[in-house]
């Protein structure tokens, strides 16, 4: 799809839209020149789109991308897990019966690779114990009964002068926000940004690709919270030592590209680049290749090629929470899918049970399959008692007919090679699938680089025999993790 950016769609610059007082003609000419220059910059961005080899073009269903973010009401009870991030779970520091204020720390970080948890609502602690989690396991949670009559302002905050902080103080302050990767990776933000100087990070890559079908929360954040994002990028550059940042955005979001292009600083330290709309454009290695032309060697991290990747949602919340001295108590996420009557992007308190969330958006009784995240890499949940957590970027509801009722029959591999043509990691999914059928999981890793597979699902998507390749690879990887070769 060729994206078009119209002059009238561009956001107003400071001073535009007001009645001119002195020298109106000069001001008008300057404003017009500014707009023309921005338009030229945008046109050149769209001409030189970054991309990567292979990948797929699924149906995107991005209709909610044009809807403004809305706020959902509070559920009567919020269920807040202590483990919402990669790393050690937080340590509960409240008791049953204790009243808490919105924003108050209710669980403290347990060491460096851990995050505090803040009360998402003013209320009272009703229970502390095991509750169903998205993983399918029971996990330790704090259940709050929400004071519905309360205005639910964030009461506990400590505004900070971020510019006056040194790097260690900055990283400590980021940990205090409880922020982890909000794109779904949930890696603690302060740990990710704490890159040793000797690693020589030269570029902060800001991920605004949002390549998963249905998900549009990153899109709306870029359009509606542009200044938070720019502030968060500057904090992340200081914390990581990266001297420049590049924001990569798929070209199906021209309004986001325009909003960001209009907010870029004059010193050239932050730039924006349009990317081809193609899945999985937002994966770390494909994004780095598309923006910088650098390939990450097998088994290594982006730092090996001087890059650090952060998601736009994470950085927008960083820019919002850090100067306000607040903890993460809510997030913006997409609720969509054929079984949802009012799809959109919503501000949802952490701990909101899916059942309540789906009732609010009119998810009909035909919603039989619920996916957290996107349809390509998200996970199906089995209980509506599971709460929204920091890593929940989307909740998708599908009717039964779209899943189980239409589950395609699986046929043998016909050797068409379609899966090989789309794999962004240049693996041989057909060969891996054949070995998986024989349970030769160790051979899959040793000879065919199973560990390079990041479960994007492109191979399964195109397979005409409907072989559930990615599911097989997940099983094989889990087996190898439990049974390491010594």
Task: Give DSSP secondary structure letters for 245-297.
Answer: EEEEEETT-HHHHHHHHHH--TTSSEEEEEE---BTTTSHHHHHHHHH---PP
Query: What is the nearest approach in angstroms of ligand SF4 to the Cβ of residue 186?
Result: 20
Only segment of 87-95, 107-115, 148-156, 415-423 that touches ligand SF4 (CB under 6 A) = 415-423
Question: Judged by CB under 6 A, does residue 454 bind ligand SF4?
Answer: yes
Determine whether 451 is exposed, middle or buried from the number of CB atoms within 10 Å of its CB (0-12, 13-18, 19+): middle
* Residue 454 · residue 423 · CB < 8 Å: no
Question: Judged by CB under 6 A, does residue 475 bind ligand SF4?
Answer: no
CA-atom Rg of the chain in angstroms = 23
Question: Judged by CB under 6 A, does residue 470 bind ligand SF4?
Answer: yes
Q: Which is nearer to ligand SF4, 312 or 456 (CB)?
A: 456
Distance CA(208)–CA(253), nearest Å, equals: 9
Which parts of 145-277 fold into alpha helices (H)?
A: 167-176, 189-193, 217-224, 226-240, 254-263
Collapse the DSSP code of 457 into the 3-class scheme (helix H, G, I; strand E, B; otherwise coil) and give the result. Answer: coil
Query: What is the nearest approach in angstroms of ligand SF4 to the Cβ of residue 409?
Result: 13
| Binding residue for ligand SF4, selected from 96, 416, 446, 478, defined by CB under 6 A | 416
Q: Which is nearer to ligand SF4, 106 or 450 (CB)?
A: 450
Query: What is the nearest approach in angstroms of ligand SF4 to the Cβ of residue 381?
Result: 21
Residues 351-380 that bind ligand SF4 (CB under 6 A): none
Determine whether 250 is exposed, middle or buried from the number of CB atoms within 10 Å of its CB (0-12, 13-18, 19+): buried
Only segment of 108-116, 261-269, 298-306, 409-417 that touches ligand SF4 (CB under 6 A) = 409-417
| Binding residue for ligand SF4, selected from 247, 377, 463, 476, defined by CB under 6 A | 463
Q: Secondary structure of 402-424 in the HEC alphabet?
A: HCHHHCCCCCCCCCCCHHHHHCC
| Binding residue for ligand SF4, selected from 453, 468, 472, 476, defined by CB under 6 A | 453
Only segment of 43-51, 150-158, 212-220, 466-474 that touches ligand SF4 (CB under 6 A) = 466-474
| Binding residue for ligand SF4, selected from 188, 429, 436, 444, defined by CB under 6 A | 429
Helical (H) or strand (E) element with 243: none
Question: Judged by CB under 6 A, does residue 287 bind ligand SF4?
Answer: no
Cα angle for residues 175, 179, 185 (degrees, 5° grid): 120
Query: What is the nearest approach in angstroms of ligand SF4 to the Cβ of residue 438?
Result: 14
Instruction: Return the sign of the alpha-carbon dihedral for residues 291, 293, 297, 302.
Output: negative
Q: Which is nearer to ligand SF4, 117 or 463 (CB)?
A: 463
Question: Judged by CB under 6 A, does residue 456 bind ligand SF4?
Answer: yes
Q: Edge-to-edge, what's the strand order for the sheet holding 394-399?
A: 70-71, 344-349, 330-336, 394-399, 367-372, 379-381
| Binding residue for ligand SF4, selected from 206, 332, 335, 430, defined by CB under 6 A | 430
| Binding residue for ligand SF4, selected from 336, 465, 472, 476, defined by CB under 6 A | 465
**What residue ranges bind ligand SF4 (CB under 6 A)?**
413-419, 423, 425, 427, 429-430, 433, 453-459, 462-465, 467, 469-470, 473
């Amino acid at each position: 799809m060729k994206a078009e950016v119209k002059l009238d769609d561009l956001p107003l610059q400071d001073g535009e839209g007001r009645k001119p007082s002195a020298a109106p003609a000069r001001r008008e000419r300057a404003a017009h020149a500014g707009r023309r220059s921005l338009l030229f910059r945008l046109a050149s961005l769209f001409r030189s789109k970054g991309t990567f080899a292979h990948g797929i073009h699924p149906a995107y269903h991005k209709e909610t991308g044009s809807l403004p973010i809305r706020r959902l009401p509070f559920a009567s009870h919020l269920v807040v897990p202590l483990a919402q991030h990669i790393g050690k779970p937080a340590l509960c520091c409240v008791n049953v019966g204790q009243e808490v204020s919105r924003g108050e720390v209710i669980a403290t970080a347990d060491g460096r690779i851990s995050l505090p948890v803040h009360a998402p609502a003013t209320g009272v602690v009703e229970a502390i114990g095991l509750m169903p989690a998205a993983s399918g396991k029971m996990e330790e949670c704090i259940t709050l009964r929400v004071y519905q009559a309360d205005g639910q302002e964030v009461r506990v905050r400590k505004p900070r002068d971020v510019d006056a902080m040194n790097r260690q103080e900055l990283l400590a302050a980021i940990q205090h926000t409880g922020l982890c990767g909000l794109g779904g990776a949930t890696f603690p933000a302060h740990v990710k940004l704490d890159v040793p100087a000797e690693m020589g990070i030269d570029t902060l890559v800001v991920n605004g690709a949002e390549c998963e079908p249905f998900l549009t929360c990153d899109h709306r954040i870029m359009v509606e919270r542009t200044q938070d994002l720019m502030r968060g990028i500057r904090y992340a550059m200081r914390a990581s030592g990266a001297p420049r940042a590049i924001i990569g955005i798929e070209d199906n979001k021209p309004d986001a590209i325009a909003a960001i292009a209009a907010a870029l600083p004059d010193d050239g330290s932050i730039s924006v680049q349009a990317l081809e709309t193609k899945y999985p454009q937002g994966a770390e290695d494909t994004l780095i290749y598309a923006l910088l032309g650098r390939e990450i060697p097998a088994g290594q991290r982006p730092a090996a090629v001087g890059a650090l990747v952060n998601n736009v949602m994470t950085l927008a919340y960083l820019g919002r929470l850090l100067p306000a001295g607040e903890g993460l108590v809510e997030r913006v996420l997409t609720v969509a899918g054929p079984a949802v009557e009012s799809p959109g992007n919503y501000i949802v308190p952490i701990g909101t049970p899916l059942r309540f969330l789906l009732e609010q958006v009119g998810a009909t009784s035909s919603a039989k399959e619920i996916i957290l995240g996107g349809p390509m890499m998200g996970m199906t949940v089995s209980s509506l008692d599971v709460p929204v957590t920091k890593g929940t970027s989307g909740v998708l509801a599908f009717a039964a007919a779209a899943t189980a009722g239409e589950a395609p029959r699986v046929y043998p591999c016909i050797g068409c090679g379609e899966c090989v043509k789309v794999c962004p990691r240049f693996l041989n999914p057909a060969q891996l699938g054949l070995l998986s059928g024989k349970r030769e999981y160790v051979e899959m890793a040793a000879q065919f680089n199973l560990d390079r597979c990041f479960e994007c699902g492109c191979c399964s998507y195109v397979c005409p025999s409907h072989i559930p390749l990615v599911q097989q690879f997940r099983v094989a990887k889990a087996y190898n993790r439990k049974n390491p070769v010594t």
